[in-house]
Amino acid sequence: MSATPVTKTPASREMLAIDGGPPVRKTLLPYGHHSIEESDIEAVVQTLRSDWLTTGPKIAEFEEAIAAWVGAKYAVSFSSGTSALHAAAFAAGLQAGDEAITSPLTFAATANCVLYQGATPVFADVSPDTLNLDPQAAAARITSRTRAILPVDYAGHPADLDAILKLAGQHGLIVIEDACHALGAEYRKRRVGSLSHMTVFSFHPVKHLTTGEGGMVTTDNPEHAETLRRFRNHGISSDARQRQSLGQWHYEMVLLGFNYRLTDIACALGLEQSKRLDANLARRRQIAARYASAFREMPGVVPPQVRSDVNPAWHLYPIRLGLQQLSAGRGEVFCALRAENIGVNVHYIPVHRHPYYRDRFGYQGGEYPVAEDAYERLISLPMFHGMTDADVEDVLHAVTKVIRHFSR
């Protein structure tokens, strides 16, 4: 007797895992994940066996590699993307009484770095297509107290940098580009990191390369670079390796800084990972292209839009739900996808809606309608260069399954 052929139930008829059906995956696929190879481990081990674990030669090597790769004159490393943002705000001269304009649709650190300097973050709404800072909205928020603009390259899509830099030039402002999502992104055929007055990157484990925790500021301004170096080292004008090489002990603190140094151990990891940066970016772009193709005609799903003059780095892949076409809200869709073992996330709760900002500045909600509407519909799908083709297809299967279930 011949075996009865097994036929797969169409996605439109599959029972959701949250309702008791079998999940698409047996194990959770996270929204982001680091990738470590044996060469990374060996590079770290070599540094552990060296004479320098911090303030040593790997610092400059890593900084020079990143500066050359993005096309900037200087790169200064930090212990995190947040400390790099803080340092850039300091180098920009922000202080009490000043204001800096930024996007509400970002991680809180973008605005917090302004507060660290005693200045006030002023939010301006985002553009409906890219969810990046809207230059016209930013222009409307400029006052006599404005000193800087902090555009965010949301999800790895560069902000409208020409318009923002032009606006900054008209008002004598400094542009601190939060490119923590955008290492490797291109804006009008130039790499992010070579365009703004200062550009900030993050090397958190879910980013395009990792140092564990870490960050970097790139700039073409030698004064900014020198201030950044001093700020990360307690405000001291020389580091331990410089003094040892010169056989000197004397040092001077010339400004009030912090210990924001990145270690040689971390830089060794970052240097080794940087050798795969082009391949990592290419893989993320392949995944994004597969997602975009699948979602192009799917009712209820709005894929991220890409402007014609950019090449995103795809740190995130944030879809927006067409809630008018669905019988469920974002929360229900989120929980259903999680039950399928797809580790979706949400990026971000608008900063002005966090309790601290509401209590301190009196935000009620509704001030930035584009960002707030996007937040209610956003879901970040898994996006990292270590994903296999099977992982990608699992995501598409789960999204199709859930969206079809909730379609009106």
pLDDT (tens digit, 9 = 90+) per residue, 303-362? 999 999 999 999 999 999 999 999 999 999 999 999 999 999 999 999 999 999 999 999
Closest to 72 (Cα-Cα) out of 180, 196, 241, 163: 196
How many residues are present in the chain?
A: 408
Catalytic positions: 207
The pLDDT score that the predictor gives to residue 239 is: 76
H/E stretch holding 102 reads: strand 99-102
The pLDDT score that the predictor gives to residue 1 is: 35
What's the start-to-end Cα distance of the chain, in Å? 44
Is there a single domain that holds both residue 101 and residue 231? yes
The pLDDT score that the predictor gives to residue 244 is: 74
Domain extent, residue 70, equals 38-274
Tell whether 5 is covered by a domain.
Answer: no
> Which stretches of the chain score pLDDT less than 50?
1-12
Tell whether 6 is covered by a domain.
Answer: no
- In the three-class reduction of DSSP (H, G, I as helix; E, B as strand; rest coil), residue 86 is classed as helix
Determine how many CB atoms are found less than 10 A away from the CB of residue 177: 29
The pLDDT score that the predictor gives to residue 245 is: 74
The pLDDT score that the predictor gives to residue 363 is: 98
Is there a single domain that holds both residue 73 and residue 221? yes
Task: At 323, list the tokens.
Answer: 């809630």
Domain boundary among 259, 274, 289: 274
Number of domains in the chain: 2
Order of strands across the sheet that contains 378-381: 301-302, 317-321, 378-381
**C-alpha span between 316 and 304 (Å, rounded):** 10
Is there a single domain that holds both residue 244 and residue 338? no
